Amino acid sequence: MKRNRVNVLSVVNSASNITTEIINGRPHIVVRGVTPIVDDIVMNGKLYTAAEIAKGYKTLERTPMPLGHPKVDGKHVSARDVQAVNEYHVGAWLQDVEHKDGKVSGDMYVDRRYAESTEKGQRLVNRLDDMAARKNVEPIHISTGLLYSGIAANGESKGKKYREIVTNMMFDHVANLLDEPGAGTPDEGVGIFVNSDGSEQELEVVNLAEAETPDPVLPQDPALKTLFNQLKAFFSANSNSVKEEANPMKELITNALKAKGIDVEGKSDAELMDAYNQMAVDDAKAKAEAEEKAKKEKEEADKKAKETATNSEQAPAWFKPFADKLTTIESGLAVNADKEKGEKRNAVKAKFGLDDLAVNALDGAALDGLYAQCQTTTGLNGSFRQVNSNQSLSEMPE
């Protein structure tokens, strides 16, 4: 699957979050609450879902934070490229990254001594010191460089339409931008990124702050849009033909409500959503009650079966003669059945001239059928018995 590059612009704008800590005997500037990306945001028509962010945000842990997006020969490269480290690294990195409350945040650490040993690092230290002292409280822009795969899909999130879902995010670096938003990138927000193998690919730049502003022409019902857009993303991503204005999720919800006998006529989107949520709650409750009932019935059945088995094992003394007699009767029946079967087999053997192996293999209907052919019919009076089948009635003695 094709992998794309994007740089996400955001800001550090609170002087109160800047402190100093001693780490390994060296002073470090610590900037708390740096936010590289937020959940379910749409930037340049691409949706960054909470689920995909949750899968990839940990790749931000201990990510380098150079001054500017690293370039070699005028083209962007990974911050881990050797030349990029030598030229752009300022002793800064992102640490203690977490994903909660709808966003990813972490703390920027800057090794002051290392930073002050380079021209770029000194600029960053001076800017952070001025912000901490409130001499210059203008926000510091940061830009998160990441690699991702895109899935074509149409939908809308947080009031903005998207045509692609960002998946498989892998973060490369978070750049500090001191001069202006998007410094070092073309005005149109697109540049060229060079992979480690030297091949080039398009690099896109998006702005987190601008993405927070909803499209003005869209209705603003967050609760309704969240579910509809999640469903829309699923259907769109799994469809070969997606219409821009189609809303299969609303149709899906209304059909589900109708199937339950719930009236949907004249209901607004919010009312449909409430009805659908209530239906889901009722279904879940009914399912839980049915499972609980089935569990109790099984427990009762198992209990009765166990009691019956126990009663059988612990029969009273007065029942023993009856049990012994029953056993004797059953044994007698078995003996009689075996005797009758033996007689039938002997008759069949004599009638058809079969050997013992063939005769002993006969049983059930097969044995009974052959045995029936061995029987002869005898009249009530012996004088009517026909001795020779070839002799006519007139020739028989009077």
pLDDT of residue 210 exceeding 90 = no
- The answer to whether position 99 is within a domain reads yes
Q: Are 139 and 179 in contact (CB under 8 A)?
A: no
Domains of the chain: total: 2
pLDDT of residue 346 exceeding 50 = yes
pLDDT of residue 21 exceeding 90 = yes
- Residues of the chain above pLDDT 90, percent: 27
One domain, residues 206 and 330: no
- The answer to whether position 137 is within a domain reads yes
Across 301-330, average pLDDT: 69
Please provide the average confidence, as pLDDT, over all residues in the chain.
76
- The answer to whether position 87 is within a domain reads yes
The residue from 211, 226, 247 where one domain ends is 211
Question: Between 237 and 319, where is the model more confident?
Answer: 319
d(CA 152, CA 237): 6
The residue from 164, 185, 211 where one domain ends is 211
Predicted confidence (pLDDT) per residue in 40-97, tens digit: 989 888 999 999 999 999 999 999 999 988 989 888 889 999 999 999 999 999 999 9
- Please tell me the pTM assigned to this model: 0.51
Across 164-187, average pLDDT: 74
- The answer to whether position 64 is within a domain reads yes
CA dihedral angle for residue 247, residue 253, residue 258, residue 261, rounded to 10 degrees: -160
Q: Which of 28-32, 275-279, 323-327 has the lowest mean pLDDT?
A: 323-327
One domain, residues 342 and 206: no
d(CA 389, CA 381): 17
Q: Are 238 and 244 in contact (CB under 8 A)?
A: no
d(CA 331, CA 323): 12
Helix (H) or strand (E) holding 251: helix 248-259
One domain, residues 29 and 168: yes
Would you place residue 385 in the very low, low, confident or very high pLDDT band (cuts 50, 70, 90)? Answer: very low
- The answer to whether position 326 is within a domain reads yes
One domain, residues 139 and 14: yes
CA neighbor of 65 nearest in space, from 36, 93, 31: 93
Place of tokens 């203008």: 138
- The answer to whether position 347 is within a domain reads yes
Would you place residue 369 in the very low, low, confident or very high pLDDT band (cuts 50, 70, 90)? Answer: confident
CA neighbor of 93 nearest in space, from 124, 119, 122, 60: 60
The residue from 168, 192, 211 where one domain ends is 211
pLDDT of residue 106 exceeding 90 = yes
- The answer to whether position 217 is within a domain reads no
One domain, residues 202 and 331: no
The SS3 assignment for 287 reads helix
Residues 6 or more apart in contact with residue 356 via CB below 8 angstroms: 349
**Which domain does 371 fall in, by range?**
320-375
- The answer to whether position 104 is within a domain reads yes
Would you place residue 200 in the very low, low, confident or very high pLDDT band (cuts 50, 70, 90)? Answer: low
Quick one: pLDDT at residue 287? 81
Predicted confidence (pLDDT) per residue in 141-169, tens digit: 888 888 899 899 999 998 889 999 999 99
